[in-house]
Chains A and B, each alone.
Chain A
Amino acid sequence: MNPIQIAFSAGLVLVLAAVSVFSAVVLRNAARGGRAAGFGLLSGRSDFGELGRVAFIAHRLTGFAIFAFLSLHILDVGLYSVSHSLYDDVQHLYGTAPLRVFECGLLFAILFHTGNGLRLLAVDLFTTSAVRARQLLWAVIGIAATAGALGSALILAPIF
């Protein structure tokens, strides 16, 4: 590995560390039944039980994880404007097996976060029942899992 690849790898370790710390804070707060146990924003929709709480926490964790990676991604893609060969050195790592596994995780996170976000939007726009909100959540989980698995198969195919 050359220096820029080492720097990118260190950045990725930093991203994973930040996600771990954030997750610990969120999960500890949730376990204590803290403020974030329900929906923090325009509250009042938190009463459809445990699954809704889990979705809320998963939404927050995936959101932070995507943001953490985005921070690194802006920097590594920005290398293109500095030097094409520096960009290519880092870009080469994205095709390696460990990074492909990471990308699968990223895909699942993006799919769940997107699906659940659209669900919250739908629940807010069309005043739906708690039962319907719960059904929509199961649909989101099902679609994210299926699309994530199919996408992962495509991403991982070149390493087999």
Chain B
Amino acid sequence: MDASVTRASAESRPAAWERPARIVTVDDSSSRVFTYVLLRVTGLMLSVLVLGHFAVTHFVTDVAHDDSAFVARRLSSILWIGWDATMLAAALAHATAGVRLALADYSADAGRRRLLERCVVSFTVVLFVLGVVAIARAVHA
């Protein structure tokens, strides 16, 4: 009790009865809007990129013929290199934002949620780096 009073005065916040009942901090709501816009924009991009990718690797060419010669042919075109790199970035950004949103629904404990969020972000960053290195090396070879 004493500790919380001291901390509140240290932050020079108004007393509880002077504040509105529910405070939505600016930081929280702007990060929510950012997540929202990020999800929708990358989602719209992916609706073209992923469906196009699936169609090319399964319908235009049968999956049995998506061998290294097929990849070599594809990566000889700057269009497909750009397509793959954009798809990689958009998909991982979309996945990170989506999983982060889901975590907020299932982990009540804020500390544990933050830890899980960091795990997810680290995981996708590693995947992104691996993906970029793979595309760069494949193009370079």
Contact = CB atoms under 8 A, between A and B. Distances in A.
A142 interface: no
Contacts of A8: none
A22 to B, nearest CB: 8
Interface of A: 25-26, 29, 34-36, 40-42, 60, 63-64, 66-67, 70-71, 74-75, 77-78, 80-81, 84-85, 87-88, 91, 94-95, 99-100, 103, 107, 110, 114, 117-118, 120-121, 124, 151, 154-155, 158
Tier of interface size on chain B:
35 or more
Which among A63, A103, A154 has the highest number of chain B CB atoms within 10 Å? A63
Contacts, number: 110
Interface string B80-110: 0000000010011001001101101110000
A95 B138 contact: no
A78 B91 contact: no
Interface string B37-49: 0011001101100
A42 B99 CA distance: 16
A64 B40 CA distance: 16
A78 B134 contact: yes
Contacts of B123: 71
Interface string B54-92: 100011001110111001000000000000000010011
B51 interface: yes
Interface stretch (B1-9, B11-19, B20-28, B125-133): B125-133
A148 B30 CA distance: 37
Given A35-B105, A121-B44, A70 B67 contact: no
A88 B68 contact: yes
B68 A84 contact: yes
